[in-house]
Amino acid sequence: MSRRVSVHHFVANLTTRQYGPHPTSDLLGVDYTHEVPADTEFPRTLAKMDLFTRFYARNAKPTDFLVRVWWLGSPRRRRGEMIGQFGPFAVPFLSTEAVRDHVFRVSNLQLRGVGRHAVKLVRAVRTWQGDKLLIVAQTHFLVER
C-alpha cells in the first residue's frame, strides 16, 4: 500500500448518512451478524451494504478501488469463494486534505450460504512484473439462520 494513503476504519453497515461541513457520519445497522430466516433458500440477495471507510492521506492522488466479497464457509473451496466484485470506485483524494471519509456502496450481493464472509477493499498497483492487487482493508460478517 502506498505510504500516502492508509485506512483507519473499514466498517460494513446497512446505511451511512453523511451531513455537515466536516462531514459527520452516522453509521446505522452496524452488526457483525446478518440473520436470515430458517427457511431461506440460497442464493439470497442482500440488496444494499455500505462500507464506511476513513482514509488518512498525505499528498494522495485520486485512486480507484475494488470491493471483493468472499464466502469463507464455502464447502467447495478450502480458502473460500469470491461471490462478488464491485467497482472500480473512484476516490477523489485532494492533495490538501489529511482525512477523507468515503462510503463504498455494494448493491445486490448474492449470498450463497451461511457462514463467515470477508469484505476486502483492494487497489491495483503497477509493478515491474505487471499489475498487482493489494488488500487495503478488510472486514468480516457472518450469515446465520
Ordered by start, the domain boundaries in the chain are 5-144
What is the spatial distance between Cα 39 and Cα 83, in angstroms, rounded to a whole number?
21
* Residue position matching grid coordinates 483524494: 93
Output the nine-digit C-alpha cell for 15.
446505511
Radius of gyration of the chain (CA): 16
Would you tell me how many other CB atoms lie within 10 Å of the CB of residue 46?
20
Task: Indicate the CATH number for domain 5-144.
Answer: 2.60.40.1930
Instruction: Report in angstroms the alpha-carbon separations of 105 from 11, 31, 65, 74.
Output: 12, 16, 12, 24
Tell me the one-letter amino acid at 138: Q
| Residue found by looking up cell 478488510 in the block | 138
pLDDT in tens, the chain (145 residues): 455 788 989 999 999 999 988 788 999 999 999 999 999 999 999 999 999 999 998 888 888 999 999 999 888 888 899 999 999 999 998 888 889 999 999 999 999 999 999 999 999 887 788 788 899 999 999 999 9
